[in-house]
Amino acid sequence: MSVSGLPMTVADPGLPARVRIHEVGPRDGLQNEKTVVPTDVKAEFVRRLAAAGLDTVEATSFVHPKWVPQLADAEDLFPRVKDLPVRLPVLVPNERGLDRALALGARHVAVFASATESFAKANLNRTVDEALAMFEPVVVRARDEGLDVRGYLSMCFGDPWEGAVPIEQVVRVTKALADMGCDELSLGDTIGVATPGHVQALLQALNDAGVPTGRLAVHFHDTYGQALSNTLAALRHGVTTVDASAGGLGGCPYAKSATGNLATEDLVWMLQGLGIETGVDLAALTATSGWMAEQLGRPSPSRTVRALSHKE
Amino acid sequence: MSVSGLPMTVADPGLPARVRIHEVGPRDGLQNEKTVVPTDVKAEFVRRLAAAGLDTVEATSFVHPKWVPQLADAEDLFPRVKDLPVRLPVLVPNERGLDRALALGARHVAVFASATESFAKANLNRTVDEALAMFEPVVVRARDEGLDVRGYLSMCFGDPWEGAVPIEQVVRVTKALADMGCDELSLGDTIGVATPGHVQALLQALNDAGVPTGRLAVHFHDTYGQALSNTLAALRHGVTTVDASAGGLGGCPYAKSATGNLATEDLVWMLQGLGIETGVDLAALTATSGWMAEQLGRPSPSRTVRALSHKE
């Protein structure tokens, strides 16, 4: 149900005027789908997201196909979307992945580290420091090639095996990624347990350690319904890059209950109400997520998509 | 999945130290259930909520049984729970309803007005001012009897027929309820369209009109996933009373898509992470909502309930 004039726009002068949404639906959203989504459908998903005004659409991952079968078609998919007039970041776990991405003309790549030993072991079969050592040559070479490099940090606010994650531990790993040359650091709440004071404290600790807010992005999961209020806390701290997944698709394969990235539509509803520019057309985005939900054969977990798709 | 030590507690000095949760599950949560819930189950629900530490549990409504058949057992239910050591507000639409509530020894009552003409017509078959005129003798008499009176305001942030609702219109009706003697005013976002700047602007406008924050409560719906970030904005403004419904039960019969009160568990997760005292035991509350979901035969819409109920 769409009601004209809603949400009403009332700005908050303490928040940024503009936010970049880093759309992760085609990669993070789809990577754990059990049924392989046809490459044509993925390409159309990326195209529709770009057409809805998202200027950054994470397209796929150049990990070994054995680890993420859903994204095994990266070589086939990327050329179909690479000429879209948007940023199309891709994940590269190692130098081989970077080679593949470079060969296809990718301009934006991302590595993915963990703030905890348990998740580094589960996701990368390495210690945290071994993983950082693996990423360093990737980041250095990517930057030498003129690419823009993002560093993902998982488990920044809690870990399913370790529980609470000390802030200084997250700062250490984030700073290591920053120091090796990552342009942007995305702080992931992989199991969705963060709350607003914790978000602000981590951002402040990173600033205190010399990582400016301008290099930080936030990546919240809605497992406990906290993603949007944590986003609001991050915006109040000055963060202007927010990760979200169209329709709320996605989760994490190794983290039980880690269902639900922040839905891009729920984020856009809030930002639109706050008068914060994103460039996104909410109706077109909602239609895209509705279409993708049909392809996947199940309703979108995004509350906004469900509300706006509700037929009178 | 419950992980020990999560959420990690990190306070925000700009927020209140303590919040009172006004639990509306047994009334607002159940009133639109199509299958009549047995009175025994309702009484047990109220008892379990009180045992989980909720000190205010809205028990039922003394509207005419024809309008809300689910709550037609108010006379039977109330005596079964009235000796619990918690506040048990009940809804009273008119003097007849107040008579019934007084006869049973209710000490906390609530009237329910609308900020918009369309909803006043749909819900009460009256204009806004006719509804206020109906409530005035109820409020005056209830206060003469020493009762604590709450005034609900519906459609404070948007209306399914009228769209955006001017802030000055909400202020006028809220102030009328305050002036006639309501101790507390609960600002309802009945269709869930509010965003944080709008929330702050309405609260400030009410303050400017002479209604102090201490008399204001917020009542958000999660239709577009906005309830918790709006709550955070209200807390930052100083609000210390927040309405929520255990398990996210409820909606609004006349407002399409108005599904989903803010789930008490999602709220408690955030408040616990922020170190804000509520007196609520999250595990006991989640167990209660899980039990109630079994009674209703469908899973809880609360993300926290679903995450914490997830079996490894």
- Determine the distance in angstroms separating the CA of B22 from the nearest CA of chain A, rounded to an integer: 19
Residue A258: its pLDDT value, please?
A: 45
A257 touches chain B (CB under 8 A): yes
Residue B301: its pLDDT value, please?
A: 86
Residue A245: DSSP 8-state: B
- The rounded distance, in Å, linking the Cα atoms of B264 and B20 is 11
Which has more pLDDT, A309 or B10?
B10
Average of per-residue pLDDT values in chain B: 94
Query: Cis omega (within 30 of 0) on the bond before B253?
Result: no
**Is A12 in Cβ contact with B160 (below 8 Å)?**
no
Cα pseudo-dihedral B61, B64, B69, B74, rounded to 10: 40
* Contact residues for B34 (Cβ-Cβ < 8 A; gap 6+): none
**Is B197 in Cβ contact with A229 (below 8 Å)?**
no
Residue B218: closest CA among B193, B190, B186: B186
Strand ranges across the sheet with A108-114: A20-23, A241-244, A216-220, A184-189, A148-154, A108-114, A90-91, A60-61
Would B281 be classed as within a structural domain? yes
CATH label of the domain that carries residue B263: 3.20.20.70
The count of CB pairs under 8 A between chains A and B is 181
B272 touches chain A (CB under 8 A): yes
- Domain count for chain B: 1
pLDDT for B44-96, tens place per residue? Answer: 999 999 999 999 999 999 999 888 999 999 999 999 999 999 999 999 999 99
Would B1 be classed as within a structural domain? no
* Burial class (CB within 10 angstroms; exposed 0-12, middle 13-18, buried 19+) of A80: middle
pLDDT for B19-43, tens place per residue? Answer: 999 999 999 999 988 889 999 999 9
Provide the 3-class DSSP secondary structure of residue A39: helix
- Determine the distance in angstroms separating the CA of B300 from the nearest CA of chain A, rounded to an integer: 13
**Is A272 in Cβ contact with B307 (below 8 Å)?**
no
pLDDT for B119-135, tens place per residue? Answer: 999 999 999 999 999 99
* Contact residues for A141 (Cβ-Cβ < 8 A; gap 6+): A95, A98
In this structure, the number of other CB atoms found within 10 A of the CB of residue A221 comes to 32
Predicted interface score ipTM higher than 0.90: yes
Do A29 and B184 meet the contact criterion of CB atoms below 8 Å apart? no
- The rounded distance, in Å, linking the Cα atoms of A131 and A115 is 11
Residue B42: its pLDDT value, please?
A: 98
Residue A237: closest CA among A14, A4, A6: A14
Residues of chain A with C-beta less than 8 angstroms from the C-beta of B163: 3-6
Residue A32: its pLDDT value, please?
A: 86
- Determine the distance in angstroms separating the CA of A275 from the nearest CA of chain B, rounded to an integer: 9
Which has more pLDDT, B303 or A98?
A98
Residue A8: DSSP 8-state: P
Q: What does the pLDDT average to over B262-288?
A: 98
Residue showing tokens 């079968």: A69
Do B28 and B252 meet the contact criterion of CB atoms below 8 Å apart? no
Average of per-residue pLDDT values in chain A: 94
A282-296 vs A264-273: helix axis angle to the nearest 10? 170
Would B11 be classed as within a structural domain? no
**Is A232 in Cβ contact with B163 (below 8 Å)?**
no
Residue B257: its pLDDT value, please?
A: 43
Residue A36: DSSP 8-state: P
Report whether pLDDT(B311) > 70: no
Residues of chain A with C-beta less than 8 angstroms from the C-beta of B157: 8
Would A13 be classed as within a structural domain? no
* Burial class (CB within 10 angstroms; exposed 0-12, middle 13-18, buried 19+) of B259: buried
pLDDT for A207-222, tens place per residue? Answer: 999 999 999 999 999 9
B61 touches chain A (CB under 8 A): no
pLDDT for A232-261, tens place per residue? Answer: 999 999 999 999 999 999 865 444 444 689
pLDDT for A13-70, tens place per residue? Answer: 999 999 999 999 999 999 988 889 999 999 999 999 999 999 999 999 999 988 899 9
Residue B281: closest CA among B46, B31, B37, B55: B55
Q: Which of B9, B10, B256 to mutate to test the interface with A (most CBs of A within 10 A)?
A: B10
B312 touches chain A (CB under 8 A): yes
- The rounded distance, in Å, linking the Cα atoms of A119 and B90 is 49
Residues of chain A with C-beta less than 8 angstroms from the C-beta of B256: 1, 310, 312
pLDDT for A63-97, tens place per residue? Answer: 998 889 999 999 999 999 999 999 999 999 999 99
- Determine the distance in angstroms separating the CA of B252 from the nearest CA of chain A, rounded to an integer: 14
Would B154 be classed as within a structural domain? yes
**Is B307 in Cβ contact with A223 (below 8 Å)?**
yes
Would A248 be classed as within a structural domain? yes
The residues of B annotated with a catalytic role in the active site are 252
**What are the distances in angstroms from CA B307 to CA A117, A127, A169, B168?**
23, 28, 26, 40
Would A125 be classed as within a structural domain? yes
Terminal Cα-to-Cα distance of chain A (whole angstroms): 7
Residue A131: its pLDDT value, please?
A: 97
* Burial class (CB within 10 angstroms; exposed 0-12, middle 13-18, buried 19+) of A307: buried
Report whether pLDDT(B109) > 60: yes
Residue B76: closest CA among B111, B33, B41: B41
Residue B253: its pLDDT value, please?
A: 47
pLDDT for A287-296, tens place per residue? Answer: 999 999 999 9
* Burial class (CB within 10 angstroms; exposed 0-12, middle 13-18, buried 19+) of A163: middle
Domain residues for the domain of A157 are 20-309
Residue showing tokens 């944080």: B196
Looking at the DSSP bridge assignments, the partners of residue A112 are A152
Residues of chain A with C-beta less than 8 angstroms from the C-beta of B310: 256-257
Residue A189: its pLDDT value, please?
A: 97
Residue A1: its pLDDT value, please?
A: 58
Strand ranges across the sheet with B216-220: B20-23, B241-244, B216-220, B184-189, B148-154, B108-114, B90-91, B60-61
Kindly identify which residue of chain A lies nearest to residue B276, measuring between CA atoms.
A197
Residues of chain A with C-beta less than 8 angstroms from the C-beta of B197: 9-12, 15, 273-275
- Determine the distance in angstroms separating the CA of A146 from the nearest CA of chain B, rounded to an integer: 39
**What are the distances in angstroms from CA A255 to CA A161, B187, B307?**
9, 38, 12
Could you say which of A71, A252, A267, A292 is catalytic? A252
Residue B258: its pLDDT value, please?
A: 44
Q: What does the pLDDT average to over A260-284?
A: 97
Report whether pLDDT(A198) > 80: yes
Give the confidence band of B219 by pLDDT, cuts at 50, 70, 90: very high
Buried b / exposed e over B14-39, threshold 16 CB at 10 Å, is: ebbeebbbbbbbbbbbbbbbeeebeb
Cα pseudo-dihedral B157, A304, B241, B95, rounded to 10: 60
Give the confidence band of B252 by pLDDT, cuts at 50, 70, 90: low
pLDDT for A159-190, tens place per residue? Answer: 999 999 999 999 999 999 999 999 999 999 99
Q: Count of residues for chain A?
A: 312
| Interfacial A residues in 212-231 facing B (CB < 8 Å) | 222-226, 228-229, 231
In this structure, the number of other CB atoms found within 10 A of the CB of residue A292 comes to 25
- The rounded distance, in Å, linking the Cα atoms of B220 and A247 is 22
A251 touches chain B (CB under 8 A): no
Residue A305: its pLDDT value, please?
A: 92
- Determine the distance in angstroms separating the CA of A245 from the nearest CA of chain B, rounded to an integer: 14
Instruction: Give the DSSP H or E segment for A201.
Output: helix A196-208
A252 a catalytic residue? yes
- The rounded distance, in Å, linking the Cα atoms of B80 and B47 is 9
Residues of chain A with C-beta less than 8 angstroms from the C-beta of B260: 303
Would B43 be classed as within a structural domain? yes
A28 touches chain B (CB under 8 A): no
